[in-house]
């Protein structure tokens, strides 16, 4: 049975998997508009280094929330979610299809599931949890968490240190499971029919794409872009200063590393980020229609057949 709620297509995947190209083809075929779901592409100053859609793509179809926030600011998940819902509703109001494109899992989860309004956790509690985890290790910490929060203890893997620590600090401070707060948030989600599609190429192919793409970024002016960013003398703790490639190229510009070393480390960090994105899709977004290769025209048939099943009719 086809859902009659307003539809939102979500195209996600790790970096260098072809999301942006698929987004453009989908928008052209469905009379859609693209909405950014990438936490770095939202900042104004970084175009090349964040692999924002190129000029040709921007001319083909409307793109929203790209280069919207100045690098001197911080775009929180909540702020992005509010803006994204506004853009989605506006696109629906135009009679078009909103197509969310990006690989920032926390953005996508917040949009679809809501944001858990957990009370602020004191720094002392947070530090206590991380210290305990470091001292006793993941397995023993998971057992400690299970005493406080059996549900999260059963759900989390002993190697997922970040989520273990978060669950422990929430249960310790609030006396309630993180799942309690997340369930409250789910009652406040927008009433959309999300059509989920994920590109997850084979790991070795993806890593090769990551390496090549960073070299292409440099050829397209990525180093100059970072130099211009540094000239703004922004606070190093700002999100834009931590974008993939920025810290490594900053060290080269400041004479602290060779260009070869900076490129190698940026490529390595990009591969690590791509691995985390794939893990998120596999473990937290596994209800998406997943294709295990990089996007190419050959995949159009598979994608649009999937779209037709949702009740949308592409023009191709």
C-alpha to C-alpha distances, 123 to 76, 120, 238, 259, nearest whole angstrom:
20, 9, 20, 38
Please, what's the b/e burial string for 267-277 (b: 16 or more CB within 10 A of its CB; e: otherwise)?
bebbbeebeeb
Closest CA to 34 of 60, 10, 63, 65: 63
> 146: annotated binding-site residue?
no
The annotation status of 279 as a binding-site residue, yes or no, is no
Percent helix, strand and coil across the chain, each rounded to 5?
A: 55, 10, 35
Determine if residue 124 is labeled as part of a ligand binding site. no
Q: Is 14 annotated as contributing to ligand binding?
A: yes
Tokens at 28, concatenated: 């052209």
**Cβ-based neighbours of 85, under 8 Å, separated by 6 or more:** 111, 190
Is 221 annotated as contributing to ligand binding?
Answer: no
| Residues 220, 55: Cα–Cα separation, whole Å | 13
Q: How far apart are CA 12 and CA 101, in angstroms?
A: 6
| CA distances from residue 175 to 115, 121, 200 in whole angstroms, order as listed | 19, 12, 38
| Residues in the chain, overall count | 316
CA dist 315 and 158 (Å) reads 47
Distances (CA, A) of 50 to 72, 228, 240, 245, 291: 16, 15, 10, 9, 24
Please tell me whether 175 is known to bind a ligand.
no
105 is in an annotated binding site: no
Q: Is 95 annotated as a binding residue?
A: no
Residue numbers in the known binding site for ATP are 13-20
Residue numbers in the known binding site for substrate are 15-20
Residue numbers in the known binding site are 13-20
């Amino acid at each position: 049975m086809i859902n009659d709620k307003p539809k939102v297509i979500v195209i996600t995947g790790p970096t260098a998997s072809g999301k942006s190209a698929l987004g453009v083809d989908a928008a052209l075929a469905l009379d859609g508009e693209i909405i950014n779901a990438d936490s770095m592409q939202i900042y104004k100053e970084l175009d090349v280094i964040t692999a924002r859609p190129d000029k040709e793509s921007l001319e083909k179809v409307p793109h929203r929330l790209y280069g919207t926030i100045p690098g001197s600011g911080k775009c929180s998940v909540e702020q992005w979610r509010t803006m994204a819902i506004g853009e989605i509703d506006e696109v629906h109001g135009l009679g078009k299809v909103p197509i969310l494109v990006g690989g920032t899992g926390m953005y996508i989860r917040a949009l679809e599931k809501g944001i858990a309004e957990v009370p602020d956790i004191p720094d002392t509690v947070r530090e206590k949890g991380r210290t305990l985890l470091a001292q006793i290790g993941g397995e023993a910490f998971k057992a400690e968490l299970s005493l406080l929060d059996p549900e999260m203890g059963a759900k989390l893997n002993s190697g997922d240190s970040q989520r273990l620590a978060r669950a422990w600090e929430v249960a310790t401070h609030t006396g309630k499971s993180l799942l309690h707060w997340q369930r409250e948030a789910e009652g406040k989600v927008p009433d959309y029919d999300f059509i989920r599609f994920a590109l997850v190429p084979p790991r070795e192919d993806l890593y090769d794409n990551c390496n090549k793409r960073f070299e292409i970024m440099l050829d397209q002016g990525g180093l100059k872009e970072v130099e211009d960013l540094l000239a703004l003398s922004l606070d190093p703790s700002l999100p834009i200063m931590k974008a993939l490639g920025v810290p490594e190229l900053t060290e080269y510009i400041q004479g602290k590393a060779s260009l070869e070393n900076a490129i190698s480390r940026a490529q390595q960090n990009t591969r690590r980020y791509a691995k985390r994105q794939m893990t998120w899709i596999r473990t937290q977004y596994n209800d998406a229609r997943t294709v295990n290769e990089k996007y190419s025209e050959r995949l159009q048939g598979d994608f649009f057949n999937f779209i037709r099943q949702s009740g949308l009719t592409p023009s191709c």
